[in-house]
Amino acid sequence: MDKFIIKGGRRLTGEVIISGAKNAAVAILPAVILSDEPCVIENVPSISDVNISIRILKEMGAGVEYLGNCTYRIDPTTIDKFCVPYETARKMRASYYFLGALLGKFKKARVSMPGGCPLGDRPIDQHLKAFTALGSEYNLSQGMIDLKAEKLEGNQIFFDVVTVGATMNAMLAAVRAEGLTVIENAAKEPHIVDLANFLNAMGANIIGAGTDVIKIKGVDHLHGTTYSVIPDQIEAGTFMVAVAATKGDVLIKNVIPKHLESITKKLEKIGVNIQQFDDSVRVWVDGPLVKTNVKTAPHPGFPTDMQSQIATLLTLAEGTSIITENIWEQRFRYVDELRRMGADITVNGKVALIEGKGKLMGAPVKACDLRAGAALIIAGLAASGVTEIEDIFHIERGYDCMEGKLRALGADIEKVSVPDSQSKPEKQNGREAV
């Protein structure tokens, strides 16, 4: 397995360019299936979750060509398989977007129950609620989900909880259904809007994405298009926190400042300076970090995917900060690793109490999920001494060349390979061979 070795204490300075959004790309790539013609997708991040999505499309028979510069040309007209096997699907939560796309196009799908981050219970009842509302039957057996529909008809779908994945899947299944679908209590994340914009670019008829009511008029045909994935809101937020943790000064480019609003507001409360431009933000610190309370919430609230990163920053502020995690039941698993670095954090259910000491010490630690891994990188950058982070395959699922971007900002971080007898995770570096 690979690991990161970080020598902490270096300020991050300079400029960094943010890659395309993981949580948009992993929905847009399956959505190409719905088209009757080839599509070109630009600004696709080079991360293992994308590699898995590309591999699934190829295994289904789609034509996939990497055109260079983060761009793929995908031809869905040659797809002749409608199953996503267990060994591929289990590695990535977003594999369930193939359910909505295959159902929407072919009225059938067979996908393994999703894998993904160990954040606690990750049910799919709302996805199934959407699919059945549109006329699909489903069968769960031996870890596989089977969908089948004689025809798909628009309907009213009211989600019991705000769910990104089910909102995406409902859109995917409804765009070619007959008639009007109204999704209520919809998620409003930037990647929801990005998927809707992509589908509309192919000729779909979707209004209201980004609000809690999305209306979809089904169409018979979706044509090819060229589409660029939005910048990654969470990668940008992660870099903003890393700059703050090292008291650096960095211009973060290729961002949509509006998508960063809740992160920007919270960092300013912590004492971080942020100057916004059209497609970039400058982040710098010239004073003490201030203890602050954080509650995660669906967009436009503070993103749960930034919770572990902001918690790490708050260990560097003097005093008591309180983090409340309202989305996932087990998103404090990184705390044990931060404690090894000297953090004083008490967790009680969905609340973490952080006694900021203003410093951290390097130590060997392990990434337990994607954003926890990002938090440990931030901790290592800020800590005195050396931090070694194992299981970085979690991090490479969602961050495009993190160590290269950090090194260019002055961080002392390197990736080293260590012999490992266990099976290798999904291909990490470079692109899936297409």
**Which residues have a catalytic role annotated?**
117
Lookup: tokens for 359: 């410093």
**Is residue 429 classed exposed, middle or buried when 0-12, 13-18 and 19+ CB atoms within 10 A define those classes?**
exposed
Lookup: tokens for 23: 């949580």
Instruction: Please state the closest distance from residue 240 (CB atom) to ligand EPZ, in A.
Output: 16
What's the rounded Cα separation, in Å, for the pair 28 and 167? 13
Nearer to ligand EPZ, 75 or 400 (CB): 400
Residues that bind ligand EPZ (CB under 6 A): 22-23, 26, 93-94, 117, 121-127, 161, 163-166, 187, 304-305, 327-328, 370-371, 398
Instruction: Please state the closest distance from residue 406 (CB atom) to ligand EPZ, in A.
Output: 19
380 phi and psi angles, rounded to 5 deg: -65, -35
Lookup: tokens for 174: 């409804």
Instruction: Please state the closest distance from residue 60 (CB atom) to ligand EPZ, in A.
Output: 19
Q: Do 57 and 432 form a contact (C-beta atoms < 8 A)?
A: no
What's the rounded Cα separation, in Å, for the pair 335 and 341? 10
Instruction: Please state the closest distance from residue 146 (CB atom) to ligand EPZ, in A.
Output: 17
Beta strands in 115-225 (DSSP E): 137-141, 144-148, 156-158, 180-184, 205-207, 213-217
Q: Which residue of the chain is nearest ligand EPZ when measured via CB?
A: 165
Nearer to ligand EPZ, 117 or 193 (CB): 117
236 phi and psi angles, rounded to 5 deg: -60, -45
What's the rounded Cα separation, in Å, for the pair 321 and 353? 6
